[in-house]
Structure formats: structure tokens, C-alpha cells
Homo-oligomer: A and B are copies of this chain.
Amino acid sequence: MNATANRQVKLAARPVGMPKRSDWEFVTSDVREPGEGEVLVKVLYLSLDPAMRGWMNEGRSYIPPVKIGEVMRAGGAGVVIASNDPTYTIGTHVTGTFGIQEFATVAGKSLTRVDASAAPLPVYLNVLGMPGITAYFGLTDIGRPQSGDTVVVSGAAGAVGMTVGQIAKILGCRVVGIAGGPEKCAFVRDELGFDAAIDYKSEDLGAALRANCPDGIDVYFDNVGGETLDACLARLDRGARVVICGAISQYNNTTPVKGPSNYLSLLVNRASMQGMVVFDYAARYGEAVRAMAAWIAEGKLKSREDIVSGGVDAFPETLLRLFKGENFGKLVLQVADA
């Protein structure tokens, strides 16, 4: 082991609204040698996710907030470069919660071994990682679509949304994606095979949903909240299921979250709206990954990553791409060459 300097990004202040560069502290520390049962991972790719914005806030949530002065939490993919866990040999590719840093010393048992020859490493941060698993269980367990149902998904060109829509197609549904801009819409329709795509930036959402969901919406998978959630609520079919997976439009609010004015559509349509957190399915992650790996092998499920280089110092600005809708597919920060 010859790595000694570890560049890290720590949370310096709790952001108000959009995170600013001054909310972060950039430090170079010594790499910590792995203790008993630990391994040292060289981080190659970091997963940048909308949920990270929530982890920066104080207060009770589904996971404790990142503390001030703590390395920012992040999932990643990397390679084992030193090991004190006999089950991991040097050179093994792994994913885990590494944080925004170049090297992570973590417990071997917290890692997931991945096969870099079966799929590029970034795919393990996307369809074969948390976003894919979130899509899989959110759709199948909470959305519970039946063949022939109309499924609408927002953030359709994002990591979770693209997989939700493709799985819904595999399950025999009519799938309508909502995304920002003609390029993303063309992608989900032409490359991913959604039945229709709505550009929320240029179309009237209500009119577009009426046109594209003539029988109403049976499953709405919400990644964005705000006006989009309201428009979809207004179009629910009887007995519809709304999956609350995220609300990226609201994460940087400095005013209260916009609650869905049309929530009484749940009453009129005997519909339900339910939140989901992927961690609850930890015991079943393998089931999701096996199903999706098979679909990938059969050519039924595609992955797309938006890989940004620049290393951990580029983290603050790269993260903002999510909130500006600039990413196209799963946003990944490349930290080092594989």
C-alpha cells in the first residue's frame, strides 16, 4: 500500500436552499490503515443522488443527518487496495458507502462484491445499485402495476425513473415518462421504449396527461413532487397507487414544501399514496439485482450514466446538476481512473 494522501469533502455548514461551495470543506488527510476486518478501498466512482440534499439537513429523517465536519456520505464503487478481511483480496471490485473522498477504510462486511467484467462499474451505482433496486421495489411492491395499467413516472430520464419505466414496460404496462427537455424525452421514448414522454418544461402537464393517459393513471411513481405531483393526482384512475420516492423539486426550498393541493383525488378515486425507502428491502436486494441483471442480459433493460470527471473537488458543482435537471441518466462522479 502506497497511498497516503486522501482528499476529502466534509460538510462545513447546513445549506440553506441550493448548497454553495462554502458549505463544504476540502481537506487532505492521511489514509487510515485498515484495522481488523477492514479493507482499504480506492474510490473510483461516486454516486450523486438527490437524497443527499436531505442528508445535509438537521432533524429526524429515515437516516441520521451528516454531521458538520463529517465526510459527506455517498455511495461509490472502487477497488480493494489493502485488506485486513480475509474474504477480500486486493484487486476486488466493490461498492459501498464510501463518502466523498478518494480512499475509504471500511468494514469488509459493509461491502458488496461486484463483477466489473459483467458490467461497467458505474452500472453498479445505477440499475444494478441503489437507484435500480429503489425502482424495482418501489414499483413492484408499492406501485403494484398490473399488465395493461397506465404507469406514469417523473424524473423519467433520471436514475430511478428510467428503470421504473423500463420495468413497467417489461410488466406489460403503458408507460408515460415526464422529463425536462426534448432530448431526455426522445431518450425515454425512443431508446428506453416508453410509450410516451411529456416535456414538463414546454408542455402543459394537465393537458399532456389527459392526452397520454386517456383512461387515467393507475400507478404514479413520483420522484419530483411539486406541480408534477399535483397534475398527476388530478388524473388518477380509480384505485390508483402513488409511490412517493422523492421530491427533488422541493429539496432546496427555502419556503415550506408545496403540499399536493389535489390530494383529495385520493378520496374521490379511492387511491393511495405511500412512501418508500429502499433500505427496508435490504434482505431482498439480491432478488432485485438478479432480476435486473437477467433483463439486462436479455436486452430488455438499459442503463445510462452521466459520468462527470474532476475528482472529489468537483463534487459541489457536480451535485447541483441534479437540482438543475442537467444530468442525463444516473449522475456519477469519477474520482480516479479504474
Contacts and interface: CB of A to CB of B under 8 A. Distances in A.
Interface of A: 60-62, 225, 230, 244-247, 250, 256-277, 280
B268 A276 contact: no
B275 A268 contact: yes
Contacts of A225: 264
Contact of A277 (B60, B261, B263, B267): B267
Given A266-B275, A272-B275, 11 more contacts: A62-B267, A62-B270, A230-B259, A244-B264, A256-B261, A258-B261, A266-B273, A268-B275, A268-B277, A270-B275, A273-B273
A194 to B, nearest CB: 24
Q: How many copies does the complex hold?
A: 2
A279 B76 CA distance: 51
Contacts of A260: 259-260, 263
A266 B260 CA distance: 13
B280 A267 contact: no
A274 to B, nearest CB: 4
A57 to B, nearest CB: 11
Contact of A267 (B256, B263, B271, B275): B275
Contacts of A250: 264
A267 B275 CA distance: 4
- The 10 A-B pairs at the shortest CB distance, nearest first, are namely A259-B259, A267-B275, A266-B275, A272-B274, A259-B261, A259-B260, A273-B273, A256-B261, A244-B267, A257-B261
A267 B225 CA distance: 12
A263 B263 CA distance: 10
A263 B270 contact: no
22 contacts: A62-B267, A62-B270, A225-B264, A245-B267, A246-B267, A257-B262, A259-B260, A259-B261, A259-B262, A259-B263, A263-B273, A266-B273, A267-B276, A267-B277, A270-B274, A270-B276, A270-B277, A270-B280, A271-B275, A272-B272, A272-B275, A273-B274
A133 to B, nearest CB: 15
A219 to B, nearest CB: 14
Nearest to A236: B275
A307 to B, nearest CB: 28
A232 to B, nearest CB: 13
A262 B250 CA distance: 12
